[in-house]
Chain A
Amino acid sequence: MTAAVIAKDVSKTFQLRHSFTFRQLMSNRRARNDPSTVVQALEDVSFRVDQGAGVALMGLNGSGKSTLLKLISGVMIPDSGTVHLRGRVAGLIDTGSAMHPELTCRENIYLQASILGMSRAEIASKFDAIVDFSGISERFLDTQVRFLSSGMFSRLGFAIAIHTEPDVFLVDEVLAVGDGQFKKKCRKTLLALREDEGMTLIIVAHEIGLLRKLCTEAIVLESGRLTYRGELAGAELLIGDEADDGEFAALGDPAGSGAH
């Protein structure tokens, strides 16, 4: 199999600065105390993801999952180590990052799609498909998005992202949007893209049921270190205790808990 993503000894630290003003900085310097705390978000993480794989990125809150996704999408640069990937990456880290409530649906589609890397011709040709997928009726197209329900907003964001046809698709907890029917549609589309088109899928989600449907493999992070890489079932056993504590179950949709 060809590799889609290769991470090698990736480390990332954050400096949390507590002082912003010059006065604070100066008084800190005089008192010789370091005003910043260094947080190790990721430490020597190495893994390889094959093309067409579905990988669940698991771990507790603050274990470094989102940071890892940001490193893969290129938004952040690792302190040391390297990330390589093949093809176009769509960072569906948040649906509709560029979408603005004051703009109309039409304007939002053009803006968000261009941000995700589509050309104008590409957007124009996929416009109808995007609208169709989002399920927003034609007569709302020129209405400001703020008049739509928040569910509609997220649906539109997801519809745009999925039409960028990425080779590597990063998903961060966005599947918790929309109603059950729409979630099912998203899941089906993602699965079809992965199985038929060879799209690589890396998902951060806390719903075991959803992960079971979309992924076969898992990566588990624990305080910034990679502690498990292999079959999804193994990861489930590993963090099963936390799941039973309710953290994972809390986000579960009806379909997800049904599969439990």
Chain B
Amino acid sequence: MTLLAARPSTEAPAPAGGRHRLHEPGGRGGLIEVFRARTVVRMLVRRDLRLKYRTSSVGYLWAFVKPSIQFCVYFFIIGLVLGIVRRVENFAIYVFSGLCLMSFFNETLSSATRSILKNRSIIKKVWLPREIFPIAGMMVAATKFIPQFMILMIGATATGWYFTWSGLLAAVCGVVIIALWACSFGLVACAVNVYVRETGHVLELTSFLTHWLTPMVKPWTLVRDRVAPFGATGTVILAAYIYNPLSTALELWHLAFWSPTVDYYLELSPNLWTRAWVMILIGVAFLAFAQAIFRRMQVRFVDEL
């Protein structure tokens, strides 16, 4: 058995299509390679949609059940029983626009988190850039968002919504913030979930918190007024409440979809637009960071699965 002098491995060229060159098996991975492997992403998304809705008799209608029940509960309990409808005009649209955005965040995050374990039979046997799986998972979850958004548009238009360019900008910024942060958290969470299978429980908690520690069911001014007597502590609580990506995105959405339907001027939280841009920038940086973490952790995926 003679081993011919192989090319020194450290100088081995990248595989990129080099059919006739020696290369290391597998590839570098990364979000750019996901784009290159988009056929696989498309097929995985198609598989998940088929599996999800084909086997149940009412199929796609299930995508509406959870948000509508949540909406009803929030509207009746918070709105009517606790009386927020007296403070917030057109409360239904206020809640539903927020609920749309928050379920977009929660669904994509939890779908991404489960993606690696769910596709373990593929990951163990075929090399693919592994970011494919969380990305495909998020795309499946995002399909639920579209019908919800359509209902929101119908409801808002019926109650007097009209188009403005600033509203469009606010809506787009809100979605971009949510997408960036959900994607980043999702990448980290799915990698961590391979090693510590506790992530599922944590996610239930985050989904609960996203509904209550944000201005989804109550305007931020209400919180401001309540914490005002507590001085410095109150300021810290208010800052934590406002200065997070979810609240920023929510306020942008209220600005885009709810505020045209009401008569009075919506008081924006301080520096909303500055915060929007900052959250997008941090989101981009966080995504790069999350991708780096994912790439480090995926090396031992197959050992652990």
Q: Which residue, B1, B47, B125, B299, has most C-beta atoms of chain A within 10 A?
A: B125
Determine whether A48 belongs to the interface, using a CB cutoff of 8 Å to chain B: yes
Known A8-B9, A83-B24; contact A100-B51, beta-carbon cutoff 8 A: yes
Q: Which residues of A contact B (CB under 8 A)?
A: 3, 6, 8, 14-15, 20, 46-48, 70-77, 82-89, 91, 93-94, 97-98, 100, 102-103, 107, 110-111, 114-116, 118-120, 167, 229-230
Q: For B122, what are the chain A residues with a Cβ–Cβ distance below 8 Å?
A: 97-98, 115
**In the bound complex, what is the Cα–Cα distance between A56 and B61 (angstroms)?**
53
8 additional A-B pairs beyond A8-B6, A114-B42, beta carbons within 8 Å, are A8-B9, A84-B7, A85-B22, A91-B126, A97-B126, A107-B46, A111-B43, A114-B40
Interface size class of B (residues with CB under 8 A): 35 or more
User: Which of B2, B22, B197 neighbours the largest number of chain A CB atoms within 10 Å of its CB?
Assistant: B22
Residues of B within 8 A of A84 (CB): 6-7, 9, 12, 22-25
A44 to B21, CA, bound (A): 24
> Which of A6, A77, A111, A119 makes the CB contact (< 8 A) with B299?
A77
Residue contacts A-B, CB under 8 angstroms, 21 given: A3-B22, A8-B6, A15-B303, A20-B196, A70-B302, A74-B26, A75-B26, A75-B302, A82-B12, A86-B20, A102-B55, A103-B47, A103-B51, A107-B46, A110-B43, A111-B44, A111-B47, A118-B39, A119-B39, A120-B42, A229-B1
Judge whether A115 and B43 touch: CB under 8 Å. Answer: yes
CA distance A76 to B126 in the complex (A): 10
Beta-carbon contact of B23 and A97 below 8 Å: no
A111, B39: Cα distance in complex, Å: 9
Q: Which residues of B contact A167 (CB under 8 A)?
A: 19
Least Cβ–Cβ distance between A54 and chain B, in angstroms: 17
* Interface flags, B276-305, vs A, CB<8A=1, else 0: 000000000000000000000001001100
Interface centre among A46, A71, A97 (most CB of B within 10 A): A97
Q: Enumerate chain A residues within 8 angstroms of B55, measured Cβ to Cβ.
A: 102
- Nearest opposing residue in chain B for A219, CB measure: B1
What chain B residues lie within 8 Å of A20 (beta carbons)? Answer: 196-197
Residues of A within 8 A of B22 (CB): 3, 6, 84-86
Does B4 count as interface, using CB distance less than 8 angstroms? Answer: yes
> How far, in angstroms, from A118 to B126 measured CA to CA in the complex?
13
Instruction: Pick the 7 closest A-B CB pairs, nearest first.
Output: A74-B26, A74-B25, A82-B9, A229-B1, A74-B127, A97-B125, A84-B22
Cβ < 8 Å to A, chain B residues 163-200: 196-197
Contact of B19 (CB < 8 Å), options: A6, A75, A88, A100: A88
Task: List, in ascending order, chain B residues with CB within 8 A of A14's CB.
Answer: 303
CB within 8 Å for A115 and B128 given contacts A47-B1, A103-B51: yes
Q: Do A74 and B21 contact each other (CB < 8 Å), given the known contacts A8-B3, A114-B40?
A: no
Nearest CB to that of A230 among chain B residues?
B1
In the complex, residue of chain A having the shortest beta-carbon distance to the beta carbon of B51: A102
Contact with A along B194-231 (1 / 0, CB 8 A): 00110000000000000000000000000000000000
Tell me whether B126 and A82 are in contact (CB under 8 A): no
- Contact yes or no, B126 A75, CB < 8 A: yes
Q: How far is the CA of A103 from the CA of B48 in the complex (A)?
A: 10
With the chains together, A73 CA to B24 CA distance in Å? 9
Residues of A within 8 A of B302 (CB): 70, 75-76
In the complex, A74→B127 CA distance in Å?
Answer: 6
B6 A6 Cβ-Cβ under 8 A: yes
With the chains together, A136 CA to B23 CA distance in Å?
37
Choose one: B4, B26, B39, B127; the contact of A120 (CB below 8 Å).
B39
User: Given B21, B50, B124, which contacts A103 in the complex, CB threshold below 8 Å?
Assistant: B50
Contact B24 A97 (CB under 8 A): no
Q: Does B87 contact A (CB under 8 A)?
A: no
Specify the chain A residue showing the minimal Cβ separation from B303. Answer: A14
| Alpha-carbon gap, A25 to B197, bound state (A) | 14
**Beta-carbon contact of A87 and B50 below 8 Å:** no
Beta-carbon contacts of B23-46 to A below 8 Å, as 1s and 0s?
Answer: 111110000000000011011101
